[in-house]
Amino acid sequence: MLFKEEFSDIIISGAGPAGCSASMFLSKQGIKHTLIEKAVFPRDKICGDAISGKVLTILEAFDKKASEEISNTPNIFNPCKGIIFVSPNGTKLSIPFKHEYKTGDKAPGYLAKRLDFDNFLFIKIRSPFCHCIENCELKEIEKISKSLNITVAHKSIKTTINTKLLISADGSRSLAARKLGGI
């Protein structure tokens, strides 16, 4: 059985930073849910790889040790003070992660490959409250009165399940946003 009934009231589509964050906070509240992800982790993503202080604040709200784990792994998480955007004509825009940063202060942010950072988050969602299914792509969504029928393809086999809540975290090309949000 692909889906487990007691985990199917809430389904999260996508296990990027948004989906993993939603899953972590649901688990913290003891709320059962299913997370579906079309890829198999670890998976990479095109990104600038910058992790700002805001990310660390949210991670700490879930797990106080997460920030420490990151600062103790400098081979994966490179300490970073901020970003400088440079246009082709040489104009620069500097965005520090922390104002009034003093030499010797703890790094206010980091640079990490998404292959590593997203996998770091993906490992953190493991919990008795999360049923996670990789290689499972959200394919169709149908509104049924106060619930949704969603169809997924897992290893090419299609399955339809009814859910009360779909948390759409399937990225910038989100199927859910297009179908339900009118994007």
Ligand X SMILES: Cc1cc2nc3c(=O)[nH]c(=O)nc-3n(C[C@H](O)[C@H](O)[C@H](O)COP(=O)(O)OP(=O)(O)OC[C@H]3O[C@@H](n4cnc5c(N)ncnc54)[C@H](O)[C@@H]3O)c2cc1C
> Binding residue for ligand X (CB under 6 A) from 3, 7, 10, 19?
19
Establish if 154 lies at the interface with ligand X (CB under 6 A).
Answer: no
Question: Of 32, 45, 98, 113, which one interacts with ligand X (CB under 6 A)?
Answer: 45
Q: State the nearest-atom distance from the C-beta of 128 to ligand X, in Å.
A: 22
The span from the CA of 141 to the CA of 172, in Å, is 17
User: Which conformational region is residue 134 in: left (phi greater than 0), alpha (psi within -120 to 50 degrees), or beta?
Assistant: beta
# binding residues, ligand X (CB under 6 A): 23
Residues facing 141 on adjacent strands: 150
The string of DSSP letters for 104-132 reads: TSPPSEEE--HHHHHHHHHHHT-STTEEE
Q: Which is nearer to ligand X, 61 or 104 (CB)?
A: 61
What is the CA 57 to chain-centroid distance, rounded? 15
- Cα–Cα distance for residue pair 179/119, rounded to 1 Å: 28
Residue 32 or 43 having the CB closest to ligand X: 43
Q: Which is nearer to ligand X, 103 or 148 (CB)?
A: 148
Sign for the pseudo-dihedral over CA of 128, 121, 23, 5:
negative
Q: Which residues lie below 8 Å from residue 46, measured CB to CB, with a gap of 6+?
A: 114
Per CB under 6 A, 24 contacts ligand X:
no
Other Cβ atoms closer than 10 A to 155: 7
Rounded to a whole number of angstroms, the minimum distance from the CB of residue 151 to ligand X is 11
Taking residues 96 to 135 in sequence order and writing x for each that binds ligand X by CB under 6 A, - otherwise, the string is ----------------------------------------
Tokens of 1: 């059985």
In the complex with ligand X, which residue's Cβ is closer, 48 or 90? 48
Binding segment for ligand X among 4-12, 23-31, 35-43, 160-168 (CB under 6 A)? 35-43
Q: What residues numbered 48-67 form the site for ligand X, per CB under 6 A?
A: 48-50
Chain positions contacting ligand X, by CB under 6 A = 13-19, 36-39, 45-50, 137-138, 169-171, 175
